[in-house]
Structure 1
Amino acid sequence: MALSTGRPAAPRLIETPSLSDQVRNILLEALTSGLLRPGDRINEAELARVLGISRNPIREAVSGLAQRGFLVSAPRRGHFLRHFTQQDVDDVFSFRICVESFAIRQGVPLMTQNDHKDLRGIVDRMIVAAQARRLSDLRQEDISLHRRICQLSRNRQTLRAHEGIDTEVQMLIAFVDLDHETPMETALAHLPIVEAMATGDIGRSVEAMENHLRATWKHVLEVYEQAGLRKTGNLRAPST
């Protein structure tokens, strides 16, 4: 097909992730699913072998994750999944409460019946996943619910702020595994939030969200302290 000028039409470009982007996504999934644990070393040579690619895109991906603070470098040792301090946990969860409470305050007056139906549908899918013990699906629906609430605020900065800490939140919870709850308890813990939002009561909705996040925050701290949570941010790479 030609343009009106008679010149050949420009080819339609299809954006595909680079190799380094694909490696980054693989590593992020490992970081946020608990496959990699705090202090674990990123074995670049093994990763290159498993993926069947050179080490260059792996180095690029690892370097990018280190720049974002998810990995730390030890001289002549390589890169390790970061340890979290108590201050890290407190910073992440206190900010998350601010962001998601603000999202509710902005979003509830704007929400339609379809929006509430959408939120309840996410919780229903969490319950189904919990019944089937599909823990990965349960985790993804959990993430989707909190992100959707921020989207419904119709405030792009709120969504950006949420996305900015989302990976750290997932890393923290992946280490804890929330083993104080059954999968069904995890799913049902979100029901009071969407039920409160459906009433249009902003105060009740904010309270439900804050109660949920504070309970998670408290348990994350308990588990990290039991595991010897360090009070400093210095890297303590595992001995070889």
Structure 2
Amino acid sequence: MKQPIIQKPIPYYEQFYHSLKAMIVEGTLTPGERINETQLAKDFGVSRSPIREAIRVLEREGLLVSDEKAKVMVYQPTFQDVEEIYQCRQALESFAVRLMITAAETDETAQIGLVLEETRQAIHREAPAQEIIKLNESFHNHIILFSRNNRLKRQIDELRSLMYLFRTYNFTGTERALTIEAEHSAIYREIKAGNQEAASKAMIDHLEHDLSYLKEQLQTKALII
């Protein structure tokens, strides 16, 4: 007799983690807004313990921060912080693309091409913003994964939540999506050609353009301090 599969319930703190993260990314909780554990517990109808655990995880990811009085607030970017994160990305991802060219199998390189094709189709049918953002993230994730450098991947993972938040700030519709897709395609062409130097430079240029556009958006939306 085949044994039934018993689904384990998702812990409360994990559910609240995903809910709070979505509220931050979608802008329901705004940069600089204070997080009130008591109010959240009341809103969700639970004790403060799982809320507190979810907050700790989000603090580790950088989406929530504590001030000198231990008050918890939604992360609010500064120009210096944004620039430092992008400097890290440029260093790590430009090197990752070099490694990937020598380490990846042919079918793995082709997977990146499939992600680009999915992105083009999503843009063409005017898919929801989050779908296109996730495809853009997938393009970068594949390059990191196929670099086969686990330590490099762990360093990128430390920035992953903030990187995703920045991608949501950076997405402003079809025109912007097409620009990003074109720059991703330029990187991919150099990957397929096996041009490490050119692929690395294309990645650096792409992230430099991304940073410039992000800072403009943060200023326009008054999300930066």
* TM-score of the superposed pair, with normalisation by structure 1: 0.79
Q: Which has the larger radius of gyration?
A: 1
Distance in 2 between the 1:35 and 1:131 partners? 28
Distance in 2 between the 1:76 and 1:157 partners? 35
- Once the two structures are TM-superposed, the CA of residue 72 in structure 1 deviates from its matched residue by 2.5
Distance in 2 between the 1:16 and 1:105 partners? 42
1:208 aligns with 2:202: yes
Identity %: 24
For 1:31-110, what aligned pairs fall within 5 Å after superposition?
Answer: 31-44=24-37, 47-48=40-41, 51-73=44-66, 79-110=72-103
Q: Match of 2:189?
A: 195
Alignment counterpart, residue 186 of structure 1, candidates 180, 187, 201: 180
SS at match of 1:146: helix
- Residue identity opposite 2:89 in structure 1: R
For 1:1-240, what aligned pairs fall within 5 Å after superposition?
Answer: 17-44=10-37, 47-48=40-41, 51-73=44-66, 79-134=72-127, 135-178=129-172, 181-226=175-220, 227=222, 229-230=224-225
Q: Which shows bigger deviation, 140-149 or 40-49?
A: 40-49
SS at match of 2:126: coil
The answer (yes or no) to whether the contact 2:100–2:143 under 8 Å persists in 1 is yes
Give structure 2 stretches of 5+ with no counterpart.
none
The answer (yes or no) to whether the contact 1:73–1:79 under 8 Å persists in 2 is yes
Alpha-carbon spacing, 1:165–1:77, altered in 2? closer, same or farther (3 Å): closer
Cα-to-partner distance string for 1:86-113 (whole Å, 9 max, x where unaligned): 1101110000011101111111012222
SS at match of 2:73: strand
Residues matched between the structures, number:
220
- Residue identity opposite 1:71 in structure 2: L
Cα-to-partner distance string for 1:117-144 (whole Å, 9 max, x where unaligned): 1001011111111122221111111111
Cα-to-partner distance string for 1:33-65 (whole Å, 9 max, x where unaligned): 444331234354564455453332112211332
SS at match of 1:190: helix
- Once the two structures are TM-superposed, the CA of residue 172 in structure 1 deviates from its matched residue by 2.6
Cα-to-partner distance string for 1:162-212 (whole Å, 9 max, x where unaligned): 111111122233234346943333333311111110111101111111111
SS at match of 2:107: helix
Alpha-carbon spacing, 1:85–1:75, altered in 2? closer, same or farther (3 Å): closer
Distance in 1 between the 2:223 and 2:130 partners? 27
Distance in 2 between the 1:209 and 1:59 partners? 39
More helix by share: 2
Alpha-carbon spacing, 1:63–1:210, altered in 2? closer, same or farther (3 Å): same
- Residue identity opposite 2:143 in structure 1: I
Distance in 2 between the 1:188 and 1:35 partners? 31
- Once the two structures are TM-superposed, the CA of residue 71 in structure 1 deviates from its matched residue by 1.2
Give structure 1 stretches of 5+ with no counterpart.
1-11, 231-240
* TM-score of the superposed pair, with normalisation by structure 2: 0.84
